[in-house]
Amino acid sequence: MKIAIAGAGAMGSRFGLMLYRSGNDVVLIDQWHDHVETIKKNGLKANYNGQEITEQIPIFYPQEMTSNKTQVELIIVFTKATQLEHMLQAIKPLIGIKTMVLCLLNGLGHEDILQHYVSKKNILLGITMWTAGLEAPGKAKLFGDGEVELQNIDPAGEAGAHRMVNVLKKAGLGGIYSSNVKYSVWRKACVNGTLNGTCTLLDATIGAFGATTAAIPILKAIISEFAAVAQKEGVVLNQKEILDHVAATFDPNGIGMHYPSMHQDLIKNHRLTEIDYINGAVARKGRAYNLPTPYCTFLTELVHAEEQILKAR
């Protein structure tokens, strides 16, 4: 299958690499100069579960995606949420009437942006449990296991969704067709909404924040704001299950020893965060539904303040 990976950072590199190695015709698209030039010159390198591999996958800048490039059957978007619209605008010529677009970005509301560029029946929304990192430009670090849960957002897209599930399965990416991906997207956003902003602002590992007496009351407040807004959108979150799930990550000998990815983005790399698509989305939707969301609103404002203090870009 002809597949474009729009945003070939950590996750885009993982998906691009695994799809390429299973025989698909893959192109990577990215705007990060050092990364693109390194891959053009040396191929995409990865530490793949401890094995050093290199694959010569074609990579282009978004502005190179002019109309003379063949349209693709599947586009997997893997920018940060803040870059999605810009990327879609740039790769418009690649999106044909039959092109399916799969979005696995963290956060809420991406389908609203996608619908400006892709017909609704071709939009697939999902979440993934895969993780990925970049060691350097052109070099990914890919460890562990995962899966992808996806669903068409329009009933007319179901056959296409099943086809893409099979492509992902064949690549070892663990494709699963979901009958209620909206729930999964909200649940994942809620989990991210409890720890990303808090640990980033406190400059704390998940375990260090979890060990404070403030953690559980803060988590409960954030989860209840997500649940109230989700309900307005027809999604009933199980607040206790989410709280228990998050609390289980506090173990300082397990996930608790790590910082959430937003901490890495903002505090370590001074990059803009996805807060507007996590707590910020709940704050925005809450205002529209006339629901108070003081914790999500305050967290979003503080993260933006920190972005400005650190001159994040």
Tell me the catalytic residues.
Answer: 188
Q: Smallest distance from the beta carbon of 62 to ligand NAD, in angstroms?
A: 9
Closer CB to ligand NAD, residue 80 or residue 263?
Answer: 80
Q: Smallest distance from the beta carbon of 42 to ligand NAD, in angstroms?
A: 16
Closer CB to ligand NAD, residue 228 or residue 277?
Answer: 277
Taking CB atoms, the residue at the shortest distance from ligand NAD is 9
Closer CB to ligand NAD, residue 133 or residue 256?
Answer: 133
Closer CB to ligand NAD, residue 77 or residue 230?
Answer: 77
Contacting positions for ligand NAD (CB under 6 A):
7, 9-12, 30-32, 35, 78-81, 105-106, 128, 131-132, 134, 261, 274
Round to the nearest angstrom and report the end-to-end CA distance of the chain: 35
Q: Smallest distance from the beta carbon of 108 to ligand NAD, in angstroms?
A: 11
Closer CB to ligand NAD, residue 27 or residue 228?
Answer: 27
